Structure 1
Amino acid sequence: MSRMMGYIKGLDPKRLIIMVIGNIFLGMGISIFKLSGMGNDPFSGMVMALADLSFISYANFLILLNVVLFVVEWITGRKFIGAGTFVNAILLGYIATFFYDIWIDVLGEPQQLWYKVITVAIGVVVCSFGVSLYQSSDVGVAPYDALSLIMKIRFPKVSYFWHRMFTDALCALICLLAGGIVGLGTLVSAFGLGPIIHFFDVHFTNKLLGKKSTHANGGPVTL
């Protein structure tokens, strides 16, 4: 209890606020990808597909899965746990659902291919901005994101890129087998966000936090 109180007292309010805002934008981005009908990031796509199969809402299923992943993170990667872990694990699904319902009511589902592609492009920018804020705040890693980081520690000879590729590819496969959508949005989420996140890191987030850029320019990123 004393360690928890010490952690809470030591939290930088500015970083905490930036992390929360980042998760809001990330949830918004996930909802935009879903609206496009062209696939989501591998993990979110898998959760959505499994939630549909189990007749449980996406947000509730995400929490159930995150509980399991959190146990793994607690046992093998406790240093990655922080306030951001819980905000992401508990609230992200509800944030995404909230915005998705708004888009459906206001815009409806895009029908033309060009409209879907533009929707994906908007999702890329919004997600990238959210990830930049969420990751750069350094106040905890989401349970799923922690998996590849833990694997990197356990198997240091293999680069983080391949650990992340493995977890994302597994999620994409499960999504496909569960009847989910694996498409342009999935590929862009897995491979195309890196440079845009790096742009936001350099030109906005790290200036806001007063830190140097730490994200690689390219490759799979955490969502």
Structure 2
Amino acid sequence: MKWNINKVDTKRLIIMVMGNVFLGMGISIFKLSGMGNDPFSGMVMALAASSGIVYANFLILLNLVLFVIQFITGRKLIGAGTFVNAIFLGYIATFFHSTWLHLLGEPQLFWQRVITVAIGVVVCSFGVSMYQKSDVGVAPFDSLSLIMKTKLPKISYFWHRMFTDALCALICFLSGGVIGLGTLVSMLGLGPIIHFFDVHFTEKLLAKKGPKANNDSVSLT
């Protein structure tokens, strides 16, 4: 896959990187709440804790396995965003989580935890919107449901994504991870908020004048 590194592509790359920063920030806020992360992050955290491997390092190892599947069955989904997400997201989330603990500490009261989850929802949705709409590569885990959709086109993408998320949530639970409000909201509630940011922010940010540049990217929505 080749990209023409022109002004538009550079802009998309910057938006993708910023999206991953906000996504990592959102994951860290979910973790801070103590009420569960998105299913995939929760699963990775639980497996990392049970194996004794640092979360960020474990995430890279798991992404390497998933990348092999992506490379074999969904090579067109691979781009710069694939590698930024797979390699750096865990470290971004770890950095922000440590920062929140140092500056704020963990929320103790139930209402504080719920507000923390709500903030995490908004931040994660904002990050996902920027990362996905930049259209320069899909993370290995995110590619699974897209690949499944191409193999089983009669089943909508929603159900493919629900299956992968539910499987991650189950593994998280069996591994002793936290399943809670944050997990439920991530599985069912992020979509409308992501769509809101797509329409009212990211698409406007990506908009440009003149003819559309040639690009080998693949749409994620």
TM-score by length of 2: 0.92
User: Percent of counterpart pairs with the same letter?
Assistant: 77
**Residues 1:8 and 1:89: Cα distance change in structure 2 (over 3 Å):** farther
| Per-residue deviation, residues 135-169 of structure 1 (Å, max 9, x unmatched) | 00000000000000000000111111111111000
CA contact (8 A) 2:3 2:9 kept: no
The letter for the 2-side match of 1:17 is I
2:95 counterpart (98, 116, 136): 98
CA contact (8 A) 1:89 1:142 kept: yes
| Per-residue deviation, residues 82-101 of structure 1 (Å, max 9, x unmatched) | 00000000000000000000
- Partner in structure 2 of residue 7 of structure 1: 3
The runs of 5 or more residues in structure 2 that have no matched partner are: 209-218
- Partner in structure 2 of residue 152 of structure 1: 149
- Partner in structure 2 of residue 220 of structure 1: none
2:51 counterpart (25, 49, 54): 54
CA contact (8 A) 2:20 2:128 kept: yes
2:191 counterpart (175, 187, 194): 194
The letter for the 1-side match of 2:168 is C
| Per-residue deviation, residues 19-73 of structure 1 (Å, max 9, x unmatched) | 0000000000000000000000000000000000011111000000000000000
What is the DSSP-based 3-state SS (H/G/I as helix, E as strand, rest coil) of the residue aligned with 1:135? helix
The letter for the 1-side match of 2:34 is G
The letter for the 1-side match of 2:144 is L
What is the DSSP-based 3-state SS (H/G/I as helix, E as strand, rest coil) of the residue aligned with 1:12? helix
The letter for the 1-side match of 2:113 is K
Pairing 1:210–2:207 present: yes
CA contact (8 A) 1:22 1:132 kept: yes
RMSD: 1.5
**Residues 1:54 and 1:27: Cα distance change in structure 2 (over 3 Å):** same
Cα distance, 1:199 vs structure 2: 1.0
Cα distance, 1:7 vs structure 2: 3.0
The runs of 5 or more residues in structure 1 that have no matched partner are: 217-223
Residues 42-191 of structure 1: pairs in structure 2 closer than 5 A: 42-191=39-188
Structure 1 moving runs of 4+ over 2 Å = 6-11
- Partner in structure 2 of residue 33 of structure 1: 30
How far apart are the structure 2 equivalents of 1:58 and 1:164?
A: 23
CA contact (8 A) 1:198 1:215 kept: no
TM-score by length of 1: 0.91
How far apart are the structure 2 equivalents of 1:215 and 1:183?
A: 27
The letter for the 2-side match of 1:109 is E
How far apart are the structure 1 equivalents of 2:170 and 2:103?
A: 32
